[in-house]
Structure 1
Amino acid sequence: MGGADGYPQNHRGVRYSDDSSLNTLEVCIPRPPTGDQKQVWIVFIHGGAWLDPEIDSSSFRKTQGLLLSSHQADSIAGFASINYRLSPNPSHPKDPSNPSDPARNAKHPDHINDVLAAILYLQETYRFEDRYILVGHSCGVTLAFQVAMKRYWGSQYESTFALELNVVPPLAILGVEGLYDLPALVKHHSSEPEYRDFVSNAFGSDEAVWAAVSPTTGEYEESWPDGTLVVLAHSREDELVEWKQVDLMHCALRSQGWDEASNERRLKLIELRGKHDQVWEEGKELARAIEVTVEAVRNTM
């Protein structure tokens, strides 16, 4: 419930595009705007292998509630959680997709184009420019880094990236239980065909595309020159995504000058506790990772 002044203000089902019923987001304004340029927005991108209808923008609510009463609450100007179109999932036991539903028949680059459109909507509405931390969970991490990659895939792969959108990349990215190298992920789980299935479902069968869209192949010195911080947060108890994914991304970033000791392009690793979805379902570990990231960002502003 809000206080006497009507805050926090929660807005759900906010439409950022008319492409489908899933082109919506949730917004929370904790308090009246103060004009403090060191306050940041938290923008969250949910996971779910690009196709799970049971994981959506509401998956951030538990974490958001914890952050509203945390020691970093005064440092946060607003929260947003993004829905985006999902890939087909006709065999889902509770909510199978319908071929005629545009919300449930997305193929790359639909997912990232939706995320870019949502961020652009937020930036134009709330004028926070680059003063935001982009947080992703699982495949939401892939999408978060694709925002910073600013990559264009031409007709060779029959896909394009919505670079015409004037989206300002974030100050920092926090990846939680992330998918960073899709070919390596599928290879590691070669005995589990569902991994190849959901990657192919989202990006097609061409493994060259899988590599091109993977955050480990980003050229961030060129595409994200104003990025100040990357935080990789992962649990060794994650039963779905192996720690090797973190190692691969950590190595890729280190090779481009990101470093734990740097004040300009800082790289930070946080070890979480809990299973893959437990970190957001319970909220405490995701909130802890965000608190650490907010503090680190404010120390560089």
Structure 2
Amino acid sequence: MFVNTPHHQFVRTFYTIPHHVLQSITIWLPRPLDYSPIKSTIWIIYVHGGAWRDPECDSDQFIPTVNYLSHASNQDTMSGIAGFASINYRLSPYPDHTRNGSDPQDAYRNVQHPAHLQDVVQALEYLSKHFLIDAYGWIGVGHSAGATLLTQLLSDVDIAALPKNIQRAYLGLHSLILIAGIYDLPRFVRNHSGADSSKTIKDIYMAIVTGAFGQDPLLWVAPSPIHRNFGMENWPSLRFIVMARSDQDQLVEEEQNNVMDVALRAQGWVGERESDTIPERQIWRRSLSGAHDDVWKTDGGQIAMLIEEVLDRLLENVDRGEVYGEEVGV
């Protein structure tokens, strides 16, 4: 299926059989893949938010950002991008959604963790097998629950025991751009359950977390990314983790970034300006503007600028003056 936008054309592909829109990837190639040099271009892979359950949040969240980067004024940035992919995944129940409540019989809208994460892993495996994201390398961009999913990938799994395409996809990750992520699930519920929170707010946050992770609060601890392994043994190519958020974000508090920062530092990560040398594994903190969803809506420029900054650092020693007219034999 094709989704036309002002500057380009997306192609939707499915990574499971039977095909379902909630297990699909929206892909755009700025040029035929064979014309993107492996050594000087990289993939940008987006995972959307929506509290693991919102049917109106999907891979199209990334369209404003891709449109922004596709503008003629950003061609230097585009010369370093092999392709974009935006991943859809199955959703948790949301029966009281005002326009599109979930049917209890719909197997694709009644899942719990780790089903969302399994879908993201399957999508990465597909992208490795068919679009060579492992060879090119990739930058992961996640908003809200999407940021959580990307950091949940960083687990204590035995990489050598994984299927080869998943192994290769994991090893190709160079940077994460995490926007308004949720990294401590018990804290997320607790921070919206105090005396200053209305019953409506308390019920919403409880429903979000119990719907995605179960009723027992003990089940919320292990999936929280602050307890994941961000060590080099699993992600040898991962150099930068960018945590960005707007002070006007009304849904996810800054404390989530703060506790994630502490967890990363405990595993050897450092701030970008805290060493006389350039450390291999840096935490970047960035400020955005607008409400929770404004950061990806409007013109997409805020996420685009984060991508540009990371891309410039990753490719700063690469000569991008190559002519994209010769096949590179991928």
**TM above 0.5, one fold?**
yes
Alignment of 1:58-77 (within 5 A): 58-69=60-71, 70=74, 71-77=76-82
CA–CA separation in structure 1 for the residues paired with 2:212 and 2:164? 22
Give the deviation of 1:38 after TM superposition.
2.5
RMSD: 2.2
Instruction: Give per-residue Cα distances to partners, 1:128-176, cap 9 Å, x unaligned.
Output: 2060001100000010111222559xxxxxxxxx955742221111101
CA–CA separation in structure 1 for the residues paired with 2:222 and 2:174? 23
| Identity, % of aligned positions | 39
Aligned partner of 1:119 in structure 2 is 124
> Is 2:191 the counterpart of 1:185?
no
> Is 2:30 the counterpart of 1:30?
yes
SS at match of 2:222: helix
Give the deviation of 1:286 after TM superposition.
1.4
Matched letter for residue 66 of structure 1: Y
Instruction: Give per-residue Cα distances to partners, 1:241-275, cap 9 Å, x unaligned.
Output: 11111111111111111112443112111111111
Alignment of 1:230-245 (within 5 A): 230-245=241-256
Aligned partner of 1:155 in structure 2 is none
Instruction: Give per-residue Cα distances to partners, 1:50-91, cap 9 Å, x unaligned.
Output: 000011001110111111222411111100001100011111
Larger Rg over CA atoms:
2
Match of 1:94 among 72, 90, 99: 99
SS at match of 1:22: helix
SS at match of 2:154: helix
Aligned partner of 2:179 in structure 1 is 176
Aligned partner of 1:105 in structure 2 is 110
1:299/1:150 CA distance change after superposition, 3 Å: farther
Could you tell me whether the CA contact under 8 Å between 1:42 and 1:132 is conserved in 2?
A: yes
Aligned partner of 1:81 in structure 2 is 86
Deviation beyond 6 Å, 4+ runs, structure 1: none
SS at match of 1:281: coil
> Is 2:277 the counterpart of 1:278?
no
Aligned partner of 1:211 in structure 2 is 221
> Is 2:256 the counterpart of 1:250?
no
CA–CA separation in structure 2 for the residues paired with 1:15 and 1:49? 22
Between stretches 75-84 and 15-24, larger displacement belongs to 15-24
Give the deviation of 1:18 after TM superposition.
2.4
Between stretches 204-213 and 273-282, larger displacement belongs to 204-213
Instruction: Give per-residue Cα distances to partners, 1:81-131, cap 9 Å, x unaligned.
Output: 011000111111100111221221111111000000011101111112060
Could you tell me whether the CA contact under 8 Å between 2:46 and 2:141 is conserved in 1?
A: yes
How many residues align structurally? Answer: 288
SS at match of 1:27: strand
Could you tell me whether the CA contact under 8 Å between 1:117 and 1:165 is conserved in 2?
A: no
Between stretches 219-228 and 279-288, larger displacement belongs to 219-228
Give the deviation of 1:183 after TM superposition.
1.1
CA–CA separation in structure 2 for the residues paired with 1:75 and 1:93? 41
> Is 2:142 the counterpart of 1:136?
yes
Could you tell me whether the CA contact under 8 Å between 2:8 and 2:67 is conserved in 1?
A: no
Name the TM-score, length of structure 2 as normaliser: 0.81
Between stretches 239-248 and 69-78, larger displacement belongs to 69-78
Matched letter for residue 45 of structure 2: V
CA–CA separation in structure 1 for the residues paired with 2:246 and 2:65? 17
Unaligned 5+ segments in structure 1 are 153-161
Alignment of 1:162-173 (within 5 A): 166-167=165-166, 168-169=169-170, 170-173=173-176
SS at match of 1:231: strand
> Is 2:65 the counterpart of 1:48?
no
Unaligned 5+ segments in structure 2 are 319-330
Could you tell me whether the CA contact under 8 Å between 1:171 and 1:228 is conserved in 2?
A: yes
Between stretches 231-240 and 201-210, larger displacement belongs to 201-210
Matched letter for residue 174 of structure 1: I
1:134/1:234 CA distance change after superposition, 3 Å: same
1:123/1:8 CA distance change after superposition, 3 Å: farther
Q: Pick 1 or 2: higher relative contact order, CA cutoff 8 A, min separation 6.
A: 2
Instruction: Give per-residue Cα distances to partners, 1:9-38, cap 9 Å, x unaligned.
Output: 5202x1111254411110000013232413
Give the deviation of 1:300 after TM superposition.
7.5
SS at match of 1:220: coil
Matched letter for residue 84 of structure 1: Y
Could you tell me whether the CA contact under 8 Å between 1:23 and 1:84 is conserved in 2?
A: yes
1:133/1:29 CA distance change after superposition, 3 Å: same
Could you tell me whether the CA contact under 8 Å between 2:239 and 2:282 is conserved in 1?
A: yes
